[in-house]
Amino acid sequence: MTVARITEISATSKTGFEDAVKQGLKRAHETLRNVKGAWVKEQLVECDDGEITEYRVNMMVTFILDD
């Protein structure tokens, strides 16, 4: 039997949403074992003077628990 856990993380990037997702998954992989996927729950941007300064994603990361 396989048991998975889901944890919510937030990641940011100066260049775009795709990069934020990649950075978040890379960091999750460094901390969690058996990361299998992620669901991007929210996408947000930070703005300054009408310009986007930062892209942020909140995502649910799924990983398989060890036996």
Concatenated DSSP letters for 2-66?
Answer: --EEEEEEEEEESS-HHHHHHHHHHHHHHHSSSEEEEEEEEEEEEEETTEEEEEEEEEEEEEEPP
CA 14 from centroid of its chain's CA atoms:
15
Q: What is the structure's pLDDT at 3?
A: 94
Judged against a pLDDT cut of 90, whether residue 67 lies above it is answered with no
- State what percent of residues in the chain have pLDDT above 70: 100
SS3 of 51, please?
Answer: strand
- 42-46 contacts, C-beta under 8 A, 24 or more apart: 43/17
Q: What is the structure's pLDDT at 1?
A: 85
Question: Which pLDDT tens digit goes with each residue over 42-53?
Answer: 999 999 999 999
Judged against a pLDDT cut of 90, whether residue 58 lies above it is answered with yes
Domain enclosing residue 50, as ranges: 4-64
Structural domains in the chain (count): 1
CATH number, residue 28: 3.30.1660.10
